[in-house]
Homo-oligomer: A and B are copies of this chain.
Amino acid sequence: MAHIKVPDLPGIRGLMAFRPETAKVLNELTEVLLRSENSLSRGERELIATYVSSLNDCFFCQNAHGGIAQHYLQCDMDFIDSVKRDFQSTEISDKMKTLLSIAAAVQKGGKNVTPEQVEKAKGLGATDIEIHDTVLIAAAFCMFSRYVDGLGTTAPSDRQFYINRGKVRAEEGYVGFDLYK
């Protein structure tokens, strides 16, 4: 049970139904970060969000966004899990590995990002916008994880729930969807 009285919906949804004023801007932020025009694909951005959420140990965030990443990347959840466990040993690009290492540094605290990490990313072709967005996506999911867990929300443990939802969210986007559907 959540720490405050909110509608009985999974994870962040109950909080969004409770407080539509903040839900609106949070969803707009997510839309801009994860779905708007970008040289990083939607799948890559969802993967950054998923990875940071797993570092934050937020069950809802890592599974909700893992389900969406899996849909965009057309992979299975085992691949998503392998990225969370040890992305260096996966077959993602060297550029993505460096961006995930920057995201991991942000998760610990902004000052952990080093000029060397950023230079390495640039050397592998990462643009300033891509580095900016990686840092902001990582920072934003440090917010979302704290929001979801800080208010003690609950969420389904069945991972198939998130796989099914991932497809729907990818199709509908983050803005204007029905929280109760």
Q: How far is the CB of A98 from chain B (nearest CB, A)?
A: 13
Does the CB pair A152–B19 fall under 8 Å?
A: no
- Indicate which residue in B3, B106, B115, B144 contacts A113 across the interface (CB closer than 8 Å): B3
What bracket does the count of chain A residues touching chain B fall in? Answer: 35 or more
A25 at the B interface (CB under 8 A): yes
Q: How far is the CB of A25 from chain B (nearest CB, A)?
A: 4
Query: Contacts A26-B29, A29-B25 hold; do A139 and B147 have CB atoms under 8 A apart?
Result: yes
- Indicate which residue in B24, B110, B111 contacts A147 across the interface (CB closer than 8 Å): B110
A118 at the B interface (CB under 8 A): yes
Does the CB pair A19–B150 fall under 8 Å?
A: no
Q: How many angstroms from the CA of A113 to the CA of B102 in the assembled complex?
A: 27
Q: How many angstroms from the CA of A148 to the CA of B143 in the assembled complex?
A: 14
Does the CB pair A152–B25 fall under 8 Å?
A: no
Q: How far is the CB of A148 from chain B (nearest CB, A)?
A: 6
A170 at the B interface (CB under 8 A): no
A62 at the B interface (CB under 8 A): no
Q: How many angstroms from the CA of A5 to the CA of B4 in the assembled complex?
A: 43
A136 at the B interface (CB under 8 A): yes
Q: How many angstroms from the CA of A65 to the CA of B48 in the assembled complex?
A: 29
Q: Using an 8 Å CB-CB cutoff, how does the interface string of A107-142 with B read, 1 for contact, 0 for none? A: 101110101001000000000110111011011101
Does the CB pair B145–A143 fall under 8 Å?
A: no
Residues in chain A within 8 A of chain B (CB atoms): 3-6, 15, 18-19, 21-22, 24-26, 28-29, 32-33, 36, 56-58, 102, 105-107, 109-111, 113, 115, 118, 128-129, 131-133, 135-136, 138-140, 142-152
